């Protein structure tokens, strides 16, 4: 299941994925990529959590990246146990990641969704990363916010 969370740190890509190191950066994440979930601060009901997040768990060469979420472990367990309403996502994508072009639709299985983050240049667009083939990931610019994508599933 997909869920929104503020990522406080993400040990990947030289830590460039977290834009706001004080409040965290909000991401739409997928529970099928979580591993080794632990309480980071506080307790399971109200604290933060640490885990390893896999961009592509379908690729044996991908290793999980350490992540800290402003999200309690109990709530993560609830998200893991919640089935999505829809198994597929249909997104309006900008060809060549160019927002001046008209969007086209793509559809893919929710299981292949890795994460989404708001575009820094527009509050109505997001960058979405998903597994395109067994081992390849693709990042696309879409005409949806992470919250709107969450509402689709």
41-48 contacts at long range (C-beta below 8 A, 24 or more positions apart)? 42/72, 43/72, 44/72, 44/73, 44/74, 45/72, 45/74, 46/72, 47/72, 47/73, 48/8, 48/72
Q: pTM for this one? A: 0.94
pLDDT of 115 > 90? The answer is yes
Tell which of 38, 63, 80 closes a domain: 80
Residues 75 and 97 in one domain: no
Tell which of 23, 52, 80 closes a domain: 80
Q: Are 53 and 67 in contact (CB under 8 A)?
A: yes
Residues 64 and 8 in one domain: yes
pLDDT on residue 61: 80
Residues 113 and 137 in one domain: yes
pLDDT tens digits along 120-131: 999 999 999 999
Beta-carbon contacts of 124 under 8 Å, excluding residues fewer than 6 positions away, are 143, 144, 145
Residues 44 and 95 in one domain: no
pLDDT on residue 84: 86
pLDDT on residue 132: 83
Neighbours of 137 (CB within 10 A): 16
The number of folded domains in the chain is 2
pLDDT on residue 105: 98
Residues 49 and 118 in one domain: no
How would residue 152 be classed by pLDDT, with cut points 50, 70 and 90?
A: very high
Average model confidence (pLDDT) across the chain: 94
Residues 113 and 65 in one domain: no
Residues 147 and 131 in one domain: yes
Q: Please tell me the distance from the alpha carbon of residue 139 to that of residue 116, in angstroms, as a whole number.
A: 9
pLDDT of 15 > 70? The answer is no
How would residue 62 be classed by pLDDT, with cut points 50, 70 and 90?
A: confident
Residues 124 and 144 in one domain: yes
Q: Please tell me the distance from the alpha carbon of residue 22 to that of residue 18, in angstroms, as a whole number.
A: 10
Task: Return the structure tokens found at 78.
Answer: 């609830």
Closest C-alpha among 104, 110, 103 to residue 30: 110
Instruction: Supply the range of the domain harboring residue 136.
Output: 88-152
pLDDT on residue 14: 64
Residues 123 and 145 in one domain: yes
Task: Return the structure tokens found at 137.
Answer: 């990931």
């Amino acid at each position: 299941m997909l869920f929104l969370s503020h990522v406080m740190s993400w040990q990947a890509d030289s830590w460039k994925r977290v834009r706001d190191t004080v409040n965290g950066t909000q991401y739409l994440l997928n529970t099928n990529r979580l591993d080794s979930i632990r309480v980071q601060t506080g307790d399971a009901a109200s604290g933060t959590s640490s885990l390893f997040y896999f961009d592509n768990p379908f690729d044996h060469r991908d290793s999980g990246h350490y992540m800290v979420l402003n999200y309690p472990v109990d709530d993560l367990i609830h998200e893991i146990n919640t089935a999505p309403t829809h198994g597929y996502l249909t997104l309006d994508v900008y060809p060549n990641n160019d927002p001046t072009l008209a969007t086209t639709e793509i559809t893919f299985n929710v299981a292949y969704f890795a994460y989404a983050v708001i575009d820094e240049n527009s509050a109505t667009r997001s960058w979405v990363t998903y597994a395109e083939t067994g081992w390849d990931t693709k990042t696309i610019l879409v005409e949806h916010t992470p919250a709107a994508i969450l509402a689709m599933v």
